[in-house]
Structure 1
């Protein structure tokens, strides 16, 4: 209320001043410029104050500094309990990374860099440092803190804490020695390290992580940016879903939501989300289907050429399905395995996940039953989304995935939901 009252008084005063000098000042440019500058400074001050109120620090009963988010944050729904998260000292993180030495860099994305760090007690950590030069990332930082600090599952990356000092905003995660899945499956010599059993374990682990997010956690979470670079692999190549900066919490019986701010990665977004801003469990299912087909084929959904008679991996898989020739899609290093029928079954499940219409796609619990053979007779998939037509031109890709440790390579597109 104070800000509204202050705003009204502020603008009333300057418009009154402008009208007062109407007959005496021929050129009102100076006054207009002054008003613009004053408003800019006021807005910057207001934003700074809001940020300070959103993020606060306190000391718990054990004398340890912790982070607390306040109700000033308009992203926090009223019925969600706020969590406390351990705070790390920036000086200790600088020591752990040798002053953020480039040699400790694990990856890079739109919001900053990720470094490997070694704490004084010998613990290895991954440090995501929000770039101070980036105009994006603050809301994603807050969102990740609120979402992932509430989650505990063997197939989700663990957030240890964060650091907020001055303009520094840093997230601290468990370190994944094998980095991200995309480093293994796309045109790398590491492809040979992933036999079919390891690939199936990764597919199954991702599905079980999604099941926890959608059904088993106390909060229903829609990830919205599931992709190969956001799947991290531990020392035993077990998968962990990471990067919850774009995630949304669903409350109560909420099943679907709309947004005018479509965020995600080119090639993984479902048709209803990319074109209408609608997202739900089934939009994550679509992304999972794309990821499943990429793991089996060893090819990115977005890297196809016209001479292959397909505009995407989905189009290629659909073409092979119609020709009853899915075996052609299998990546060479697992082609000769003795599990071809199981692999073909998984491709069929992937096609069921990427069907164009939401209601045609199975939910994640059904997908797990299909993958593990609990459901024997699978329905015939219908045509995937985006097949037979180019991707929407209003979705600008920033798919320059240089990251080996989950930093968002995302698309920000403002659309009018239909």
Structure 2
């Protein structure tokens, strides 16, 4: 308990920075719905070759920070576009693209399409041609937490004029660089710095349309803020009250720009003459390919060794599988679908207990009279398999009075079911936020729930043989049994740490806003402290009986953390 209480003391000092501007250093996005490639496949070889060439010193792009190339032959051809900010060219640009390459291959393994945003560059690759087409998904919206403090309407009127002007300049800047930066002065003599940029492969009209969509996003995400960035794969729009572009490093456009052409890449065809130039390219590329292949093999071996003891066979957790030892005796854990259908009356609405992010939960009763709770993962959820394997792998190994007990699982056809002990009093949010039911929670019981939850969390972090970060601790994931004991549930988003690991990073931010620690919500950094932060928010809700996101003070509505931080003596 001591470490948890110590961290909780500092919770109130963290809450004011909950909405700091998300870091623009790296924001990778993996297109999970665009298909996967297999390790060591031709597609992966083509991808690694293309990305290595994209940031190599021999590739100068179009000379203004734009890199557009493809490599390979269908169906394994890969396309990539890299774009540096208008004031970033040469080696700094290639260095940024090199970092982007490393991040994408690490964060999006085996994804055929991916996109990453850095402060100085963006990079994307795909298994289809992406040249000349406007792409607006994903749409990354970032903002500065500082609010405009003087003449808000005047500030945004000047901002709108500035960004509209930059939109027209960027769109009309020709085929080499669709970039514009400028300034405006608000009524309080505050300087506003703005930037607009498109990938140069877009036509003037398409570039203008893309930036227009970004302008329309500002009122939705960033109204009243002194700075924001709207970044789409095809265009970027940004404003701040400080200088973030160095105008002295923006290279001038030539009076007669040469036509844009893709940088030369090694030919993959077998026909044609072998000129001295093609020999030179082959000599350069072959060592790169060999190096990349060796690096990939090395990392595959490392990953295989690390995952040997915790790997679950994809969609196959049945007796006889090599991985059944990871979840205990499979014969005792696996249920057949017919039994579960009978116990839940074929998943009837009358037995439905609730709806979660990845499926519904139903009450059931086995033939032996034992009550169960069945979590039915959604069949149309792209993350369902991952969440299923996470919970089976983690929860079956955890035994603690303040953690929900996993009784088994079922895998038949498209059905993925998790069978838990039934907890009669449902989840904490059904009690603590209900004006009638929370009357039964006197201070002794509230204290009991707080301490029990802390014990369960301490077990996950320190006392179990696995070190687990829950990542979604909240009132709806705390179940209350007949004796009013709390039980932490829903481990679908949990992450496993090695014993000496203190922090992890992810590009996939999951969980519930309002409970997320700032470093996790902004940069994807999670650790024991992330769960402690969520626990602190939960304690405030238990003590106050108010939701963090729906707290009301008199006639005013605000978030609970802000109210607490502003009223601490």
Q: Is residue 327 of structure 2 the alignment partner of residue 83 of structure 1?
A: yes
Q: Is residue 470 of structure 2 the alignment partner of residue 223 of structure 1?
A: yes
CA distance 1:313–1:8, shift in 2 (3 Å)? closer
Q: Is residue 288 of structure 2 the alignment partner of residue 252 of structure 1?
A: no
**Offset at residue 134 of structure 1 (A):** 2.5
Q: Distance in 2 between matches of 1:168 and 1:277?
A: 31
Q: Distance in 1 between matches of 2:445 and 2:420?
A: 24
| Structure 1 counterpart SS, 2:374 | strand
| Structure 2 counterpart SS, 1:155 | coil
Q: Which runs of 5+ in 1 are unaligned?
A: 18-34, 37-50, 61-66, 71-80, 323-418
**Offset at residue 55 of structure 1 (A):** 3.5
Answer yes or no: is the 8 Å Cα contact 1:155–1:240 preserved in 2.
yes
**Partner of 1:181 in structure 2?**
428
| Structure 2 counterpart SS, 1:232 | strand
Answer yes or no: is the 8 Å Cα contact 1:58–1:68 preserved in 2.
no
**Partner of 2:319 in structure 1?**
59
Q: Distance in 1 between matches of 2:76 and 2:435?
A: 67
| Partner residue of 2:375 out of 119, 128, 136 | 128
**Partner of 1:191 in structure 2?**
438
| Partner residue of 1:4 out of 28, 40, 43 | 40
**Partner of 1:14 in structure 2?**
74
**Partner of 2:514 in structure 1?**
267
Answer yes or no: is the 8 Å Cα contact 1:153–1:209 preserved in 2.
yes
1:12-48 CA-to-partner distances (Å, cap 9, x unmatched) read 563799xxxxxxxxxxxxxxxxx97xxxxxxxxxxxx
CA distance 1:116–1:15, shift in 2 (3 Å)? closer
| Structure 1 counterpart SS, 2:74 | helix
**Partner of 1:116 in structure 2?**
363
1:87-102 equivalence runs, <5 A:
87-102=334-349
TM-score (norm 2): 0.45
Q: Report which of the two structures shows the higher radius of gyration computed on alpha carbons.
A: 2
1:110-158 CA-to-partner distances (Å, cap 9, x unmatched) read 2111100000010100000011122332211111111111110000000
Q: Distance in 1 between matches of 2:555 and 2:535?
A: 24
Answer yes or no: is the 8 Å Cα contact 2:402–2:456 preserved in 1.
yes
1:304-361 CA-to-partner distances (Å, cap 9, x unmatched) read 3586677321121223323xxxxxxxxxxxxxxxxxxxxxxxxxxxxxxxxxxxxxxx
CA distance 1:268–1:58, shift in 2 (3 Å)? closer
Q: Which runs of 5+ in 2 are unaligned?
A: 1-36, 47-70, 78-126, 129-310
CA distance 1:111–1:57, shift in 2 (3 Å)? closer
Answer yes or no: is the 8 Å Cα contact 1:57–1:68 preserved in 2.
no
TM-score (norm 1): 0.61
Answer yes or no: is the 8 Å Cα contact 2:460–2:469 preserved in 1.
yes
**Superposition RMSD in Å:** 2.8
Q: Distance in 2 between matches of 1:57 and 1:318?
A: 47
Q: Is residue 527 of structure 2 the alignment partner of residue 280 of structure 1?
A: yes
**Offset at residue 69 of structure 1 (A):** 4.0
**Partner of 2:247 in structure 1?**
none
Q: Distance in 2 between matches of 1:2 and 1:184?
A: 48
1:394-405 equivalence runs, <5 A:
none
**Offset at residue 216 of structure 1 (A):** 0.4
Count of aligned pairs: 275
Q: Distance in 2 between matches of 1:92 and 1:242?
A: 23
1:83-134 CA-to-partner distances (Å, cap 9, x unmatched) read 3341100000000011111100000122111100000010100000011122
Q: Is residue 234 of structure 2 the alignment partner of residue 234 of structure 1?
A: no
CA distance 1:245–1:68, shift in 2 (3 Å)? farther
Answer yes or no: is the 8 Å Cα contact 1:55–1:69 preserved in 2.
no
**Offset at residue 277 of structure 1 (A):** 1.0
**Partner of 1:386 in structure 2?**
none
1:44-100 CA-to-partner distances (Å, cap 9, x unmatched) read xxxxxxx9942334437xxxxxx7648xxxxxxxxxx72334110000000001111
**Offset at residue 199 of structure 1 (A):** 0.6
| Structure 2 counterpart SS, 1:59 | coil
CA distance 1:295–1:88, shift in 2 (3 Å)? same
CA distance 1:15–1:245, shift in 2 (3 Å)? closer
Answer yes or no: is the 8 Å Cα contact 1:227–1:287 preserved in 2.
yes
CA distance 1:285–1:308, shift in 2 (3 Å)? farther
**Partner of 1:202 in structure 2?**
449
Answer yes or no: is the 8 Å Cα contact 1:56–1:69 preserved in 2.
no
Q: Which moved more, 1:157-166 or 1:8-17?
A: 8-17
Q: Distance in 2 between matches of 1:9 and 1:315?
A: 51
1:217-262 CA-to-partner distances (Å, cap 9, x unmatched) read 0011111100000000111110000001111111031111111111
**Partner of 1:402 in structure 2?**
none
**Partner of 1:140 in structure 2?**
387
| Structure 2 counterpart SS, 1:56 | coil
Q: Is residue 546 of structure 2 the alignment partner of residue 299 of structure 1?
A: yes
